Amino acid sequence: MTTVGGKNFLAIHGGKPTLQGDFRRYNHIGQEELAAVVKVVESGVLSRFLGEWHQDFYGGPKVQEFERSAAEYFGVEHAVTVNSWTSGLIAAVGAIGLAPGDEVIVSPWTMSASATAIVHWNGVPVFADVEEDTFCLDPASVEDRISSHTRAIMAVDIFGQSADVEALTEIAQRHGLRLIFDTAQSPGARVGKAFAGTFGDVGGYSLNYHKHIHTGEGGIAVTNDPELAERMRLIRNHAEAVVAGKGTANLTNMIGYNFRLGEIEAAIGIEQLRKLDGLVESRQRIAARLNSGLSALAGLTVPLVRDNYTHVYYNYAMRIDSEAVGVDKSRICQALTDEGVPSLSTTYMNLHLMPMFQKKIAFGSEGFPWSPYANGRSVDYSKGTCPTAERLQDQSYLGFGLCEYELSDDEVDGVIEAFHKVWLHMDELASS
Ligand SMILES: *Cc1c(COP(=O)(O)O)cnc(C)c1O
């Protein structure tokens, strides 16, 4: 890839793009994973889960080894692997004993599964607003949305940094609420010395192919609570079918699922976990270079990292003050994209505005699980209920998909140069 001239015109106006050529996609699946997979295939054991009360109820050797190494890495008592983090979220929400009609306060600025995991148990998601500078749940808004029906908070460590762990933990404790962390995008991020995802009652990570580390599909739930860990293991493996044999007393939410991870994926996961530190460092290096190159641009805010927190940059989330800059963010995004900057996006999520919540249709078409449990209370998903998340979406958010490409220093410098070029020509962009 080479950086070419074209200082005189923006590419959007027919000039030469700053960056040319293809970026290398991250591929950290290598010889280590290949060797591990070959061994599993040679063993003939691709899975050893048995859906009945038996020593194989907890899975095969690689699944158990992966769980031991994940628990050790993240510094928790229990790691429970699952076949996706969506499954992990459903298992976690089930494990806390959510009952139909219970409300869970959740961020609207997240992937759909953070909220649908609640609906899967006939629970009602209540969206609280996010903090403008971190995109994570705003503790003040969480406190504001607590009702007599609230049972839990689902905090999301979005884009690579944890939500406000201290404030959310304090609120959860004061109100007697369960606290789940969806850390799908932030494995390896830290709060003090501890890892994001290890706070609250349960946390966990996605192993889907476009997350930091992956097994194709997969997930890991982490907890220090032995009862929650066991309930998640039960939900993972047809609880209903085994509880009689196991003698489980609490039958709440013991509905049978198959959320089991295979041995091949687990063997890959063991190798991937060994690479996490290095992958995190490479993203942090790119982000630091971007920070120093971009932070002087007027009207552009680079990602904030809280004191004592680390950021692992699943997404390099910027904000544009369109009024100060004088150009709409989508126009700026188009100009940058035309300069050759890959993987930019002006939108992420306002989950509360998705059709399922706007129409309140999930199970059947009669408003279940909202209507029968409303108890005179109507959960409001209308536009305006999460003004900061809406403003980020409509006006200021600009994300750079740092996780997708293995960018060299030259390429990062090219990205920075493209931003400077667009900023230099902002007047022309405004008038064209
Ligand atoms: C990816 C993701 C999930 C779901 O994980 P899967 O492993 O793809 O099911 C949940 N929450 C967030 C925030 C995510 O980014």
Residue having the nearest C-alpha atom to atom 5 of ligand 1: 85
* Rg of the chain, C-alpha, whole Å: 23
Q: What is the pLDDT of residues 101-125, one digit of tens each?
A: 999 999 999 999 999 999 999 999 9
Q: What is the pLDDT of residues 291-308, one digit of tens each?
A: 999 999 999 999 999 999
Mutate to test the pocket of ligand 1, among 81, 86, 205 (most ligand atoms within 8 A of CB): 86
Q: How far apart are CA 65 and CA 385, in angstroms?
A: 45
Q: How confident is the model at residue 8 (pLDDT cuts 50, 70, 90)?
A: confident
CA of 297 to the centre of ligand 1 (A): 32
CA of 88 to the centre of ligand 1 (A): 9
CA of 111 to the centre of ligand 1 (A): 6
CA of 410 to the centre of ligand 1 (A): 31
Mutate to test the pocket of ligand 1, among 84, 111, 156, 315 (most ligand atoms within 8 A of CB): 111
Pocket of ligand 1 (CB under 6 A): 84-86, 110-111, 113-114, 156, 182, 184-185, 206, 208, 219
Specify the pLDDT at position 423. 97
Specify the pLDDT at position 1. 39
Q: CB within 8 A of 431, min separation 6: which ones? A: none
Q: How far apart are CA 220 and CA 56, in angstroms?
A: 19
Q: How far apart are CA 129 and CA 139, in angstroms?
A: 9
CA of 30 to the centre of ligand 1 (A): 23
Q: Please name which of 165, 203, 167 lies closest in space to residue 187, comparing C-alpha atoms.
A: 203
Q: How far apart are CA 259 and CA 249, in angstroms?
A: 22
Mutate to test the pocket of ligand 1, among 112, 130, 159, 185 (most ligand atoms within 8 A of CB): 185
Are 163 and 137 in contact by the 8 Å Cβ rule? The answer is: yes
Mean pLDDT rounded to a whole number for the chain:
95
CA of 114 to the centre of ligand 1 (A): 8
Q: Stretch 36-43: mean pLDDT, rounded? A: 98
User: Which stretches of 66-218 are assigned E, i.e. beta strand?
Assistant: 78-82, 103-106, 124-127, 150-156, 178-182, 190-191, 194-195, 202-206
CA of 205 to the centre of ligand 1 (A): 8
Strands 202-206 and 178-182: parallel
0.85 surpassed by pTM: yes
CA of 135 to the centre of ligand 1 (A): 16
Looking at the CA of residue 158, tell me the nearest atom of ligand 1.
13
Q: CB within 8 A of 427, min separation 6: which ones? A: 326
Looking at the CA of residue 218, tell me the nearest atom of ligand 1.
7
CA of 211 to the centre of ligand 1 (A): 8
Angle at CA 357, nearest 5°, toward 351 and 362? 120
Q: What is the pLDDT of residues 341-380, one digit of tens each?
A: 999 999 999 999 999 999 999 999 989 999 876 656 789 9
Look at 44-53, 142-151, 240-249, 368-377 and tell me which has the smallest mean pLDDT: 368-377
Strands 103-106 and 124-127: parallel
- Give CA separation, 242 vs 31, 51, 53, 56, 301, in Å: 39, 7, 5, 12, 53
Looking at the CA of residue 157, tell me the nearest atom of ligand 1.
13
With a pLDDT cut of 90, the percent of the chain lying above it is: 92
pLDDT tops 80 at residue 6 = no
Are 93 and 180 in contact by the 8 Å Cβ rule? The answer is: yes
Looking at the CA of residue 208, tell me the nearest atom of ligand 1.
7
Specify the pLDDT at position 375. 59
